[in-house]
Amino acid sequence: MTTSLTWRAPATRGRNGRVSSVWERFTPYIYIAPFFLLFLAFGLGPLLFTGWVSLHDWQLLGDTHRYVGLQNYGEMFNDPRFWKALRNTLAIFILSTVPCMGLALGLASMLNNRTLRAKTFWRMALLVPNVTPLVTVTLVFTSIFGRDYGPVTWILRSLHLPVIDWGASAMTTQIVIAIMVIWRWTGYNTLIYLAAMQAVPSAMYDCAEIDGAGRWTTFTQVTLPMIRPTILFTVVTSTVGGLQIFTEPLLFTSPTGGNNGQGLTVTLLLYGQAFNSFKFGYASAIAIALLFIILVLSLVNFAVARLIRSS
């Protein structure tokens, strides 16, 4: 090991042959620098700049950006589309997250069983939806839930039930979009929960068993409290991701969220205002509003988690 090490001049050796130099103390920062630089340039920077743009009348064309104060925010609060988009987004978020978490917990506790056969098969099969492109997922489900044709309509007709025009009303649109989200994310969350469940010390289960706790009691009194940090983690990531939902409503309805805005979500509105109407200032105000909502909801998640822990 005596060759090497002068690959860059500053690395000189002190006693004991150690590389002891200012350079070596500095290198860890170089290794983590790419993350922080890119985050500043393409993460935090743009977010802060969004706040700045939101205070201006900022069109795509034209170099003058007139400062308008909070006017864009005023326009937003008076824009019925914004409220509709917010309602739809929250509805889709709740309709998708709650069942998704519940299903994932149930499936994970079934997979968390030593005698289960074909473990790898189940895990892989459940993860397949998560590697499927979002665009594909949306288009497949759009055709499955077609109004005139498609499997769902066929089943309803065969059972002599009324046929549903899924894309027509806000509620059915939300349901179909929620189904897409549930389909794509349940398997992934299942694996996350399963990993957390496997990390629970088996002594805890032994104790529960010795004391005669049944499956359900064990699940609610041992498993759930032990994996609470993981559940909180998935709730927060689902909040951040779910409230930005875009691809599903865009492709299931239209860039404007359908004729009556039944599929309009906040990010869809943001996208339309920015890249169809080229009102960058207004779009930025919407982005800041959504950012604020996401941060508040994430904090609420943490607060609720803390409350549960202390009670």
Partner 1 sequence: MPVTSKEQPRTAGVGRPVSRAAARSRRRSLDSSRRRRREGTPWFSYVVLTISVLLALIPLYWMFVVGSNDTSAVSRFPPVFLPGGNFLHNLGVVDSIVPFGRSLINSAIVSGAVALLQMFFCSLAGFAFAKLRFRGRRLLFLLVIATMALPSQLGLVPMYLIMSKLSWIDTYWALVVPGAVSAFGVFWMRQVVIGTIPDELIDAAKSDGCSTFRIYRSIVVPNIRGSAAVFGLFVAMTTWNDFLWPLVVLNTPDMFTSQVAIQQLRTQYTIDYSTVMTASVLATLPLLLLFVAAGKQLVAGIMEGAVKG
Span 247-266, contacts to partner 1 by CB under 8 A: 247, 251, 254-255
Residue 73 vs 150, nearer CB to partner 1: 150
Instruction: Please identify which residue in 67, 70, 147, 157 interacts with partner 1, judged by CB under 8 A.
Output: 157
Q: Could you say whether residue 108 binds partner 1 (CB under 8 A)?
A: no
Reduced to 3 states, what is the DSSP secondary structure of residue 19? strand
Own/partner contacts of 247-251, CB < 8 Å, gap of 24 or more, are 247/134, 247/135, 247/138, 248/134, 248/137, 248/138, 248/177, 248/180, 248/181, 249/88, 249/92, 249/173, 249/177, 251/135, 251/138, 251/139, 251/142
Task: Identify the DSSP state of 163.
Answer: P
Q: Could you say whether residue 240 binds partner 1 (CB under 8 A)?
A: yes
Q: Could you say whether residue 215 binds partner 1 (CB under 8 A)?
A: yes
Instruction: Please identify which residue in 9, 16, 64, 159 interacts with partner 1, judged by CB under 8 A.
Output: 16
Instruction: Please identify which residue in 95, 126, 170, 177 interacts with partner 1, judged by CB under 8 A.
Output: 126
Q: Could you say whether residue 129 binds partner 1 (CB under 8 A)?
A: yes
Instruction: Please identify which residue in 72, 166, 187, 262 interacts with partner 1, judged by CB under 8 A.
Output: 187
Q: Could you say whether residue 115 binds partner 1 (CB under 8 A)?
A: yes
Task: Identify the DSSP state of 233.
Answer: H
Q: What share of the chain is helix, strand, coil (3-state, %, to 5)?
A: 70, 5, 25
Query: Per-residue string for binding with partner 1, 26-65, x by CB under 8 A?
Result: -xxx-xx-xxx-xx-xxxxxxx-xx--x------------
Q: Could you say whether residue 102 binds partner 1 (CB under 8 A)?
A: no
